[in-house]
Amino acid sequence: MTHVLDTELLSADDVLIVPSLGVLGSRSEAQLQPFLYSAPMDTVTGYNLTKELVEQGHMAVVCRNLPTEELLKCIKDFGSHPRVFFAISTCREWLKLFIDTLLAQGVDQPINVAIDVAHGDMLKAHELAAYLRELGICRHIMSGSICTGEAAERAVRAGCSHLRIGVGPGSMCTTRIKTGCGYPQLSAVYRIHRYLESLELRTDVELVADGGVRTPGDAAKYLCAGADGIMMGKNFGRAIESVGWEHDGWQAPDLNGVVTFPLPEPEPLYAKTLRGHASASFQRAHGKKSACPEGASTRIEWDGTELSDVVGEFEAGLTSTISYAGLQSLADLGPDTTTMVKITSTTLLENMPHGA
């Protein structure tokens, strides 16, 4: 049977998953497995988020641009943790320093690394993956960002066990606007999955959809298209456990122009800049300047979100997806067990709340 993604290039908003005969008595019976990855962004994945995320059963990818003391603490406490990846540079001098730091912190077990490069299908990135495999220091190697089957094959043959899929769909990314390059994210996941299947390379390779995951519904669609996990930056960046929050002081409440006494007790206001690593904001913070930055930045205030809120929402959403799809576990989700249909712009409007 032809899949809708066999013939069209689509994004998550272009499809819906068709419900099937339910076999579970309740969505609470659906079986989950680790599927969430944090993005290695400098105002997202630091020590506290890594600690909490792995305790809640998922995966963290530690940013390589953390303050030195915090990065060292991450290396010391999570260096050989099976569900923690460390983002690394493609620069050999940086890599040597990183390996020396691992040894200095007493990490003598295999580690997980993520090659932190926006264009993961580069000779330099593939050569690095092969070099790391030869060194024998890595349990898992995650590729840089890719979006085609051919790129996936090159990354796997170079030694990558995890493929980071997504060029341009991230909330803080402007690559598609500034360069014209990219690939519709849902189709990228599906076509890489099928391409690796055709080469008998799909087994033991984890596909991680990175970017464009705004809601649990988006995550469900990527998993149904063939992904094993999803990576998020903005959603995790809203949590108080994420790195980069600053105390901006107290602002008087809006009382519609009427001042009443006594004023409410002041509450701390925490804010941060959420940004892509190719953004002008990030470049300035690290003493660099790009003539054409490929990332955006935005100032956000903490709204009370905790990491458990984010994880809980996505886990609950996926258990419902499993129930609607007539399956029993997250491992069952995939393009051969679910059906997707293309929708129109009016259906997209119909998806939204419209009762008010």
Asked if pLDDT for residue 249 goes beyond 80, the answer is no
Coil, helix or strand for 253?
Answer: coil
Assign domain 4-243+303-348 to its CATH superfamily.
Aldolase class I (3.20.20.70)
CA-nearest of 180, 174, 181, 171 to 290 is 174
Q: How far is CA 242 from the centre of its chain?
A: 14
Q: What is the pLDDT of residues 138-180, one digit of tens each?
A: 999 999 999 999 999 999 999 999 999 999 998 888 889 999 9
Spatial separation of the C-alpha atoms in residues 198 and 211, rounded to whole Å? 25
Pairwise pLDDT comparison (115 vs 266), residue with the higher score = 115
pLDDT score at 204:
87
- The pLDDT confidence band at residue 277, using thresholds 50, 70 and 90, is confident
pLDDT tens across 194-248, in order?
999 999 999 989 999 999 899 999 999 999 999 999 999 999 999 999 999 987 6
Which of the four pLDDT bands, split at 50, 70 and 90, describes residue 288? confident
Model confidence at 356: pLDDT above 90: no
Phi, psi (deg, nearest 5) at residue 28: -65, -15
Q: Residue ranges per domain, the chain?
A: 4-243+303-348
d(CA 192, CA 173): 21
Residue 188: both structure tokens together: 């990228």
pLDDT for the residue numbered 276: 75
Segment holding 300, helix H or strand E:
strand 297-301
pLDDT of 275 > 90? The answer is no
Prior bond to 19 cis, omega within 30? no
Please compute, for residue 301, the number of CA atoms within 13 A of its CA located in the half-sphere on the CB side: 8
pLDDT of residue 263: 52
pLDDT-derived band of residue 267, with 50, 70 and 90 as boundaries? low
Q: What is the mean pLDDT of residues 296-323?
A: 95
Mean pLDDT value across residues 17-34: 97
Q: What is the pLDDT of residues 100-114, one digit of tens each?
A: 999 898 888 999 999
